[in-house]
Amino acid sequence: MRAARKVPQESLAGSLLLAHPSLRDSNFRRTVVLMTAHGPDGAMGVIVNRPLQKRLGDLGGDFVLGPLADVPVFEGGPVQTEQLILAGWRAQPHGFQLHMGIDPEKAGLLFAEEGAQIRAFLGHAGWTGGQLEDELKRQSWIVTDAPPDLFTQQTDQALWRLFLGREGAMWRILADEPDDPGVN
C-alpha cells in the first residue's frame, strides 16, 4: 500500500483529497474533493463525485433558456449549500486549466470554446485554520495529485474507487469493500 502523503507544509490547492475508506462522516463518505484554496487560515474545495441529477436549467432563473442550461449540477459540499459555484476547465497537454467561481457570463463564453467544460456546484467543503491538517494527521484523507483525466471520468462513487485504486493494490482492495461487510 502506497503511503499517504505527509501533512503538507505547502498549499494543497489543485490537489485531490480522497476520503479514507474508514471515514464514515456522511458529508464526506467516499468523496473526491478538488481543493481550490489552502493556507494558514483554512481550506476550501468542492466534492466532484456527487452529481445531483440536475442541470442548471432545472434551477430556474436566467439559466432556463441560457447557454448553460445543460450544465450538470453537483453537491459541492456541506457549507453554504445555497451558493452556486461555477467551475470551468480546459484540457492541457499535461493536466487541465481550472477556473473556479466564474460568473455566468464568463462561463458561457468559456463553454462556447472547443474542449472547455463547465460544472456547477451547490455549496463547498471548508476547513478552518489547522482543521484540515488535523484531519490529515488522523489519516482521514489520502492526498493525491489531480490527474489530467479528472473531468473525463465517472462522476459518482466510481470516481472515488478509481482514484483510490490508483494509489496501490491495497487501496484498490479497500475501495471495493462493501459498505456492509455482511454482504460479502
Closest by CA to 159, choosing from 47, 68, 60, is 47
- What is the distance between the terminal CA atoms of the chain, rounded to a whole angstrom? 22
pLDDT at 6: 46
128-171: per-residue pLDDT in tens? 999 999 999 999 999 999 888 888 888 898 999 999 999 999 99
Domain ranges in the chain?
Answer: 15-171
Residue showing cell 502523503: 5
pLDDT interval class at 110 (50, 70, 90): confident
Please state which of the ranges 18-27, 54-63, 72-81, 87-96 shows the lowest mean pLDDT.
87-96
Looking at domain 15-171, its CATH class is alpha beta
pLDDT of 42 strictly over 90: yes
The whole-number average pLDDT for the span 73-102 is 87
Closest by CA to 156, choosing from 50, 73, 31, is 50
